[in-house]
Amino acid sequence: MSAQARYRANTRPGEPEKMSLTIKQAGLTLAMTGALSSVAFSAQAQEEVQKGGTAVIHMISEQRILNPGLRASTGVYNITGKIMEPLIDKSYDGYEPVLATEWSSSDDGLAITVQLREGVNWHDGEPFTCDDVAFSAMELWKELLNYSSALQANLESVDCPTPHTAVFNYSKPMPLELFVAAMPDLGHPVPKHLFEGTDILKNEYNTAPVGTGPFKFVEYERGQYVLAEKNEDYWREGYPYLDRIVWRFIKDKSAAAAALEAGEVHESGFIGVSMADVARFGEDDRFDVGTQGYENNVAHSTVEFNHRNPILADLKVRQAMYHGLDIDYAIQTIMHGFAKPGRGPVPSAGGINYTDDVPTYAYDPELAKQMLDEAGYPVQDDGFRFHLKHRPAPWGEYTQLWAEYYAQAMKEIGIDVEILTNDAPGFLNGVYRDHDFDTANGWHQFRSDPAVSTMVWLRSGQPNGTPWTNQFGWKSDEIDQMIDDAASELDVEKRAEMYHVIQAKAMEELPVIFAIEHPFISVTSTKLRNHHNTPRWNSSSWYDLWLEQ
Amino acid sequence: MTLHMPPILTYALRRLVQAIPVVILIMIGTFLLLKLAPGDTVDALVGDMGGADAAFIARLRAEYGLDQPIWVQLWRYMVKLASFDFGWSFVYEQPVATVLMDRLGTTLMLMAASLSIAFCAGIVLGAIAARRAYSATDNLISVLGLVFYATPSFFLSLMLMLVFSVKLGWLPVGGIKTIAAFYTGWDHVWDVVRHLIMPTTALSLIYLAFYLRLMRASVMEVADLDYVRTARAKGAREGRLMTHHIMRNALLPVVTLLGLQFSTVLGGSIVVETIFTLPGLGQLAYQSVVQRDMNTLMGIIFLCAIIVVVVNFLTDLLYARLDSRIELA
């Protein structure tokens, strides 16, 4: 078994039992990982908790906005998830109450009632009530929060019949399942008394958050770090264990690896070090390396087609190109085994909405060549069938490597791919606004529910220039209708079936190739305990995280 | 009534008047150049967020004034700049002046330390090499200079980090201070110095090589001039000869280089500050380009233009001080 493809559970060096299994064995499904985590963490639970200490966390990108009610981004949650809490979070056992204690829906799906936790105070001492939730929902989640403004487009009002009861009123049915699935990311209330009557986008508390979480914001030194300290009045009795958390911004991946090795940093998440270093740390007993804790943040590495190009508008060409990609090879060489082949817009961590009963495209370059010949694209005098301009997204080392592999693989079947390297604004404009590309690749996160994430990849009619949406010139009235119907379908089983159909259709029509499904990877010091014990761990509150002194 | 000002003040005023159109042209040129780059702040912000819907993007663009024609944006910016209002950083959600002031100290410390070390060590080693030309000492110094010159700062930074932080554990990997240690007084000073040792070394060595090689050549040239030979013939001791006659004149080209290189050191600090996570202007400039944070980037360019103008002015003063034949006119 290669070290790179190994997942090590969270055990200390020297401990007699060390769990090792391949990533394929470990599986990426929520249930499987949940089972794994319970075994791994039951071992941790036997240790005596040590209170105190400062956990230092590496972040590759600086997060300038520290308000999850204003910015839906895993980078923002990574810091603010400890300071500001959502109504509902996600554990390996399902959705768990945080600031909400119960939730229910009316039969027609037009009203969702949420009971709020009592006895919770903001860090400035003011009580948390329904007024905060109503204000946040109407002024931030519906108006200003990316992803959420589409989700809450039909939200008409939030009533507060009691100080701790919030009723969300919708003009169209809102599936409770969708509402709940969205809350961990898109359901962070802000304190109304600090935001009301201010310019919300320029409010000072956007960079100095006041929340209800286990840690209180202390300071944000631009370009260096964010520091939070223990909230002594936290509503969970006896928590948190840590005294402080520091998030250090280290842009250079080699420097981040050095900081981990020197013991100055305890965790680097979201593949914050190079893939080569990930493999190296996998061999080092001082670190746990793995994908656990990212089940809610699974992403796809893609190949995106510009269907305005008549060659790529030909389904046979797209299918041939898929046959020309050796996905397993790419997984082993680029992702060091920490991934699996994609099966359409819903990843295997998508729960009931996922199916693997979809058309697939085995690696078969000869078949690919034959299909391209049949499509009317034989090899020309210059040795190529046609030429493509490709734009890789600038996020992540593996994205660039995937682009290079894609170009090599296409060359094997007679397609010349010219890679145009660009930075983030250049990529976003080139692909999503100017449509100046033939193919592109990037990675795109699934966020609990298809309706609030990957369906935007397929739904037509997105305004020009909107990043990470269907700007590919591809349109299917059938799929558009199914996406709209599924978003307001109240029956969970029926809704899941609709997504299965969409998934199969997407794999058949290939508007986008969802080539590789990969969670992120963390390198974590074994001194940290209770780490990666939820499916969105880096975004969660870490109230039970502790540090071996 | 005629106002009589000291020559130095007249000179300073004239240089100031000359600098104003230069700075304005730099600002306009930079603004237009940056606008040629694809994308804007909102694109970068949305990229960081992992996506946003069209209405959200349009709202942000209108909020930041990016929906206006370029010439309107430029005019608004220049009018504000005339009153030293650098505007608002949409990336850092702070006034640009605050963002710049937060970073200026670190960069000035890094630059001052690096250039001082490079300059002092460079001229001493260069002078020694020149006085012992073609000896083993000269060869050793020259080879060292070549090695310093040929070693990229990013490689040197990582090697220093590997040896002194990872292997030996003597120095911190990065940052400007130990976080959450809450040092005060001399403990704080020492903490900052420890954090600056590796970045300063990484940044200074290449400049040390410049000065060393230039000083060596300059000393060798000056040492052969008639007035040195005359002084020696009149019985001047070697020490005095070196300090009062050779060094003083050999320093002129090195001082020129020092002034010219002030801006390039700022460029070099981008790499070093990024690797060592130093919160300075170099790192900020890099981030501002990536984030298309126009206001902050323009503020940095403005600050750099002012610094370069001031440093060159000071260099001219030093020039006049070193060589009495040069007049400030």
pLDDT digits (tens, 9 = 90+) for A401-422: 999 999 999 999 999 999 998 8
- A380: three-class secondary structure by DSSP: coil
> What count of Cα atoms within 13 Å lies in the side-chain half-sphere of residue A271?
22
Output the average pLDDT for chain A: 88
Does the pLDDT of residue A25 top 50, yes or no? no
Q: Taken in order A296, A297, A298, A302, is the CA torsion positive or negative?
A: positive
Mean pLDDT of the B216-233 span: 89
Integer Cα distance of B134 and B130 in angstroms: 8
pLDDT score for A392 = 95
- Under 8 Å CB pairs connecting chains A and B tally to 159
Q: Which two tokens stand for residue A122?
A: 């903001």
Crossing angle of helices B247-275 and B281-291, rounded to 10°: 50
Q: Which residues of A touch B290 (CB under 8 A)?
A: 423-424
Q: Answer whether A224 sits within 8 Å of B175, measured CB to CB.
A: yes
Q: Would you call B46 and A144 a contact, using CB atoms and an 8 Å cutoff?
A: no
> Is residue B318 within 8 Å of residue B20, measured between CB atoms?
no
- Chain A residues lying within 8 Å of B54, measured CB to CB: 462-466
In the predicted model, what is the mean pLDDT of chain B?
A: 85
pLDDT(B227) > 80: yes
What pLDDT band is residue B156 in, cutting at 50, 70 and 90? Answer: very high
**Closest approach of A39 to chain B, Cα-based (Å):** 33
Q: How confident is the model at residue B20 (pLDDT cuts 50, 70, 90)?
A: confident
Contact at CB, B39 and A258, closer than 8 angstroms: no
Taking an 8 Å cut-off on Cβ atoms, the answer to whether B179 and A468 are in contact is: no
Closest residue to B290, CB basis, from A255, A261, A424? A424
The CA distance from A319 to B266, in Å, is 51
Q: What is the pLDDT of residue A32?
A: 40
CB contact under 8 A, B53 and A147: yes
| Contact at CB, A262 and B175, closer than 8 angstroms | no
pLDDT for B211 equals: 92
Percentage above 90 pLDDT, chain B = 29
Residues 6+ apart with CB under 8 A from B259: B311, B312, B314, B315, B316
Cα separation, B55 vs A432, whole angstroms: 15
- Quickly state the pLDDT bin for B197 (edges 50, 70, 90): very high
Order across the sheet with A54-59: list the strands. A215-221, A225-230, A244-249, A54-59, A267-268, A522-525, A287-290
Side-chain-side CA neighbours of A187 within 13 Å: the count stands at 24
- Pick the residue with more confidence: A53 or B313? A53
Q: B253 pLDDT band (50/70/90 cuts)?
A: confident
Enumerate the residues of chain B whose CB falls inside 8 A of the CB of residue A428.
Answer: 39, 43, 46-47
Partner residue facing A251 (CB), from B51, B165, B274: B274
- pLDDT range class, residue A13, cuts 50, 70, 90: very low
Instruction: Give pTM, 2 decimals.
Output: 0.80
Query: A224, A277, A287: best mutation site toward chain B, by most B Cβ within 10 Å?
Result: A224
The CA distance from A427 to B43, in Å, is 9
Distance from CA of B164 to the nearest CA of A (A): 10
Q: For residue range A49-78, list pLDDT tens digits in order.
A: 999 999 999 998 887 789 999 888 888 999
Residue of B nearest to A147 (CA): B52
Handedness of CA A507, A513, A517, A520 (dihedral sign): negative
Q: What percent of chain A has pLDDT over 90?
A: 69
Residue B50, pLDDT score: 62
Chain B environment of A464 (Cβ under 8 Å): 54
| B158: chain A residues, CB-CB within 8 Å | 254-255, 258
Angle between helix B247-275 and B185-223 (nearest 10)? 140
Residue B54 and residue A433: Cα distance in Å, rounded?
Answer: 11
Q: Do A430 and B38 touch (CB under 8 A)?
A: yes
Contact B158 A64 (CB under 8 A): no
pLDDT per position as a tens digit, B265-306: 877 788 899 899 898 888 888 888 887 888 898 999 888 888
